[in-house]
Amino acid sequence: MQLSGYNVVLRDISQSDLEQLRDWRNDPDIARQMISQDEITAEQQQAWFMKIQRDPSQQHWMIEYKGEPIGSANIKALYARDLADASSIEPGLYIGEARFRGNLIAFAPTLLLNDYCFEVLGAKQLRAVVKRSNQAALKYNEKLGYKLQKDAELCELTLTASDYQQATGMLKNLLSR
């Protein structure tokens, strides 16, 4: 499945993307923000890919901007075996290409994912789990309308469709040009 909007495309991950994804994920700047920081081997990456191919509770995409892969995005059903039945979804993403981190384009894949979760899948809420030390991600999520639910080493944030719509109007207009 492919999603497009806000000047980005989310396309299904393919076998040929695995090495690029592994390189990004093992980058110390990205790995440092992950809950699991272990170095990922080629064998682990292949096993992960085989698992996600048969798991209806999650979906993974390569993020492309102007035809260039720049990162990875995913969604996972919480409390359901299938994304189609999930009322609560956990999205995740990282921007692998350093020149796109921390700029406006970094919001585009999240807006596209959130629109898909709320408007197509009918999710009632989205949940993010962010390390407290990752202040950039906490601020990023606040700009999207997420509300802090649990302040701990791993912070939990939730987002409703109405909070999302209220928080992102201007951002969506900027990225839709």
Question: pLDDT digit string (tens) for 105-163?
Answer: 889 999 999 999 999 999 999 999 988 888 888 999 999 999 999 999 889 999 999 99
- Please name each of the domains of the chain with its CATH number: 2-175 (3.40.630.30)
Please spell the DSSP secondary structure of 70-103, one letter per residue: EEEEEEEEESSSSGGG-SEEEEEEEE-SGGGTTS
Q: Mean pLDDT of all residues in the chain?
A: 90
Cβ distance 62 to 72 under 8 Å? yes
- pLDDT category of residue 25 using cuts at 50, 70 and 90: confident
Pairwise CA distance, residues 154 & 139, whole Å? 15
- Can you tell me whether residue 133 is helix, strand or coil? coil
Q: Find all residues with CB under 8 Å of 116, minimum gap 6, and list them.
A: 3, 75
CA distance 107 to 124: 21
Beta-bridge partner residues of 91 = 75
Tell me what the mean pLDDT of segment 78-89 comes to.
Answer: 93
